[in-house]
Amino acid sequence: MKFIKAKVTYYRSIADSEEFRVEEDVTCLVGKNESGKTNILQALFRLKPIEKKPLDKVVDFPANMGRKRRELGDSRIPVVEATFRYDDNEVKQIEDDLGRGALASREFVLSIPYKGDRYYTHQVNEVAIANHLRSGFDLPVSVGGGVAKAKTLAQLLTAVEELEEPTSGATAAAERIRGWRDRNVRLYLIDEYAAPLMPHFVYFGDYDIMPGKVSIPDLIAREKNDTLQRGEKALISLLDLAGVSLEEFNVADNHERLIRELENASNAITEEVFEYWSQNTDLEVDLKVLQPEVGALAPLNVGPILQVRVRNRRHGVTVPFDDRSRGFVWFFSFLAYFNKVEENTDGDLILLLDEPGLSLHGRAQEDLLTLIDERLATKHQVIYTTHSPFMVSPKHFERVRTVIDHLDGGTKVSEEIFKADTDTAFPLLAAMGIEMTQTLFVADDTLLVEGPSDMIYLDIFNDAAEAARRTGLDQRWVVTPIGGAGKLSTFAALLGANKINVAVLVDSSTKDVQAVQQLRANDQLAKNGLIEIKEFTGTADADIEDLFDRDFYIELVNRAYASELPTPITAADLNARDPRIVRQIEAYFQKKKIAGGKFNHYKPARTYLREQASLPDLDAATLDRIEKLFQRLNGLIRKTKKK
């Protein structure tokens, strides 16, 4: 099951967050300090918390909205409305139970109010469910007229109860309906599937780190009273991984066994930490049992005392866990806590990480992003907050949601990063700047394209157009490949915010086209600054490769893959009904298992660049399309102001 979108209302700094989407793997909430990022996570945590965390209307309702609270009274105020989607296996399970097409929608909405029970909005197809149940009745046609006409489950139950001699199948179905809560199939779906299958939410903040020293008797007492802090739970999780209970520390003759088990546990978690922690690989964690120090303050005046220490093999010394860098302490504490939660929880988790990289060096934050992508997000959805540019992956700007605290509306969450103020956008600008120093060149007039093959083709097209004495691409354009369609809207928005003249050249089927179009409405992209290839091919859908004559491009592919193709590709081998030549070739590669079934767009471009001299000249129709493209682009060059 996936968590796909949410909306938070009347919670601390939030009056109405507005609905925001959640990515299926990782979502990054970016905002400056005190923007309400933590409040968003804390509200989401209430959906199905791994630990008890009830809402408190007195504490959690926005303090500056007392009048609104009185107006709402005891009504069910939906603090969080969250939408979830069943996966294929869960849908199959439901349809095996209630019949094919039982769900009118794979999605359902859970609402969490301040007062009263949580409630679900769940759409079902009662006709399909009734048909499924009816199929097991085995009734003669002569006596089943009322049953056959029933469209709802209530009607079906009434019809069965009116039968003089119901079959065992009809009786069983009737008993089943009566057994559902309020005889309601929606409530049955909630009780049997939606509620149990919903992921648990796990919250871990920057301050939830393991203590370096604890009193075992105090920890035992507060565990029984359920007053442990999350960092202390992380420590107990580490002991659980070793198979050690707190009570075992009070057994006098158990000392050697405890030492060995603690060593095994610390070695296991240390090994996982250093799979992702590249800052200092000479560290290891030791757990030691000590007696109280003379004059120690409560609760450390009662032993035995468990101390966590960090050994630096390079320098041959150990120091208390509390004295190590806070970044390493957080990293270790989180993995200890998370591993135990993951082990003890059936089903999926939603990990809510509040400022996880706050105390980490920039490179260590990259390590954390690697941990999130490779260890956490492969199994669970992750939502984290940050105001650090190093915690914004330049490869995944589509994950970003901005969080802004407005004077007149409270905290808002948005995917439209071009609406963000300067302070909120700063981490994005900085992250983009870091990426640009490695991959991009920009100028006053910047043309954004998806990848390096687009850049190569435009360069060759320009040479061909000029050789034929046609219009070439204005030299003031700096063509910038940004490494994927998913980054187009982000780069266009952020570059436009820096007063750079930006145009965007996209394949017509790019999913990001709509997001780029929105930039025009916000005056961050020229009115005609979005150029789709289909404008020059006359087709409904087109890549830059469709500017070529079809046979010419097939020849490029044959040359690029000469060593991997059993026979050269011909036009007859391809699906001419598909307007995009690249998609035709991709389908052919998949069908024939060529190059592992994957077609690399860059290889034909590289071949064209290398073998221009031996290839025929571009035909007149191709040059016509190229010239129209260049004329369109050149018309967007920013006009030089007269002095």
pLDDT digits (tens, 9 = 90+) for 241-289: 767 788 887 776 666 777 777 777 677 767 777 777 777 777 777 778 8
Q: What phi, psi does 87 have (nearest 5°)?
A: -90, 180
Buried b (16+ CB within 10 A) or exposed e, 374-383: ebbbeebbbb
Residue 641: predicted pLDDT: 45
Residue 629: predicted pLDDT: 95
Residue 433: predicted pLDDT: 64
* C-alpha span between 336 and 270 (Å, rounded): 9
CB atoms within 10 A of CB 260: 10
Phi-psi bin for 96: left (phi > 0), alpha (psi -120 to 50), beta?
alpha
Task: Give yes or no for a contact between 48 and 198, defined as CB atoms under 8 angstroms apart.
Answer: yes
Nearest-CA neighbor of 88 among 26, 2, 6, 4? 2
| Three-point CA angle 425, 426, 427, nearest 5° | 95
Give the 3-state DSSP-derived string for 194-247, with helices as H, strands as E and coil as C.
Answer: HHHHCCEEEEEECCCCCCCEEEHHHHHHHHHCCCCCHHHHHHHHHHHHCCCCHH
Residue 565: predicted pLDDT: 94
Query: Mean of the pLDDT values across residues 133-154?
Result: 79
Average of per-residue pLDDT values in the chain: 85
The DSSP 8-state label assigned to residue 570 in this structure reads: -
Which range among 139-143, 271-275, 418-422, 527-531 shows the weakest confidence by mean pLDDT?
139-143
Q: CB within 8 A of 163, min separation 6: which ones? A: 139, 143, 144, 146, 147, 170
Task: Give yes or no for a contact between 404 and 411, defined as CB atoms under 8 angstroms apart.
Answer: yes
pLDDT band at 643 (very low <50, low <70, confident <90, very high): very low
Residue 408: predicted pLDDT: 83
* C-alpha span between 118 and 178 (Å, rounded): 23
What separation, in Å, do the N-terminal and C-terminal C-alpha atoms of the chain show? Answer: 62
User: What's the helix, strand, coil split of the chain in %, to 5?
Assistant: 50, 20, 35
Q: CB within 8 A of 47, min separation 6: which ones? A: 80, 82, 110, 112, 198, 201, 350
CA distances from 147 to 122, 175, 385 (A): 25, 15, 55
| Three-point CA angle 81, 83, 85, nearest 5° | 165
Question: Bridge-partner residues for 320, per DSSP?
Answer: 309
CA distances from 101 to 136, 176, 195, 512 (A): 17, 19, 20, 32
Residue 417: predicted pLDDT: 76
CA dihedral in degrees (485, 487, 492, 494; nearest 10)? 180
CA distances from 599 to 53, 407, 558, 602 (A): 50, 51, 12, 9
Q: CB within 8 A of 463, min separation 6: which ones? A: 472
Token pair of 261, please? Answer: 């088990």
Most distant CA atoms of the chain, gap in Å:
99
Task: Give yes or no for a contact between 546 and 537, defined as CB atoms under 8 angstroms apart.
Answer: yes
26's enclosing H/E stretch is strand 26-30
133's enclosing H/E stretch is helix 126-134
Tell me: pLDDT of 642 over 50.
Answer: no
Highest mean pLDDT among 89-93, 369-373, 516-520: 89-93
DSSP-based three-state secondary structure for 614:
helix
Residue 142: predicted pLDDT: 57
* C-alpha span between 156 and 147 (Å, rounded): 6
Token pair of 471, please? Answer: 């219009």
Task: Give yes or no for a contact between 506 and 535, defined as CB atoms under 8 angstroms apart.
Answer: no
Higher-confidence residue of 85 and 304: namely: 85
Query: Mean of the pLDDT values across residues 112-128?
Result: 92
Residue 432: predicted pLDDT: 66
Query: Mean of the pLDDT values across residues 16-32?
Result: 95
Query: Mean of the pLDDT values across residues 215-223?
Result: 92
Residue 139: predicted pLDDT: 72
* C-alpha span between 70 and 225 (Å, rounded): 35
Q: CB within 8 A of 168, min separation 6: which ones? A: none
